[in-house]
Amino acid sequence: MAEVNLLARLPKTKRNIQKRYEAQTPENIAISRQYGEAYFDGPREVGYGGYRYDGRWIPIAEDMVRHFKLKPGDRVLDVGCAKGFLVKDLMTVCPGLEAFGLDISEYALMHCEPEVVGRLHLGSADKLPFPDKSFNAVISINTIHNFERADAVRAVREVERLAPGHGFIQVDSYRTPEQRELFLTWVLTAKFHDYPEGWIKLFTEAGYTGDWYWTILE
Ligand SMILES: C[S@@+](CC[C@H](N)C(=O)[O-])C[C@H]1O[C@@H](n2cnc3c(N)ncnc32)[C@H](O)[C@@H]1O
């Protein structure tokens, strides 16, 4: 178990915090939590404001392959894969790697990258439809915080079940009260979030032995 920043080479996105704060209405939160067209490709107030492939995950895919020592023929699963950008890039940087994804959004899967058609499963992170130890690595980025705490524990257990000791989970967090305040003015979908200590307690409760990192607004 280790804290490791596998997204260090992801470009930082510009965020208009004030605009999002003003848009943080119960209606917008409900729309974003449907993970439909509005969330991915609608206005920034309810989600990404356009979720398009631009190759930014390639360096992250390289770092994941290196970190998990993945090789052709190995199997990797991205839980909360959205349109499959990372799944595609994992296979680009490591030809022969068997990469798959799972997401709750039918919209995202229906608008996935052509290279990953047939590799993405519709489902929920707290009930992964795969056998025990069936992957060499399981990755889940910015997804597990979308559950209430008890369900987040189940989702972390699922990552561990599929790839014991070979998970990577990144979730929303904050290291200071100021960062927490900033996060609260931005958050739309996350139902459970905490300081790193709180998350590590949750990971331990779930019996998780993989790695992790935090998404922190600054
Ligand atoms: C912030 S996006 C992250 C997408 C991608 N991992 C990335 O980092 O660009 C959160 C993703 O989690 C998915 N999601 C939300 N709840 C989920 C659940 N219960 N099971 C699986 N995926 C879920 C959403 O549809 C969305 O694609």
For 116-154, the pLDDT digits (tens) are 999 999 999 999 999 999 999 999 999 999 999 999 999
The chain-wide mean pLDDT, for the chain, equals: 96
Q: What is the mean pLDDT of residues 74-89?
A: 98
Helical residues (DSSP H) of 1-81, grouped into ranges: 17-23, 26-32, 37-41, 58-68
Which residue of 58, 79, 113, 143 sits with most ligand 1 atoms within 8 Å of its CB, as the best mutation to test the pocket?
143
CB atoms < 10 A from the CB of 79, how many?
27
Closest C-alpha to ligand 1, atom 1: 142
- With a 6 Å cutoff on the Cβ, whether 179 touches ligand 1 is no
Q: What is the mean pLDDT of residues 85-114?
A: 98
Residue 22 binned pLDDT confidence (cut-offs 50, 70, 90) = confident
Looking at residue 17, its pLDDT comes to 81
Percent of the chain with pLDDT over 70: 100
What is the whole-number distance in angstroms between the Cα of residue 124 and the centre of ligand 1?
9
Q: How far apart are CA 194 and CA 145, in angstroms?
A: 9
Q: What is the mean pLDDT of residues 14-43?
A: 91
- Is the predicted pLDDT of residue 1 greater than 80, yes or no? no
Q: How far apart are CA 206 and CA 212, in angstroms?
A: 13
Looking at residue 18, its pLDDT comes to 81
Q: What is the mean pLDDT of residues 176-182?
A: 95
Contact between 64 and 139 (Cβ < 8 Å): yes
- With a 6 Å cutoff on the Cβ, whether 10 touches ligand 1 is no
Q: What is the mean pLDDT of residues 40-50?
A: 93
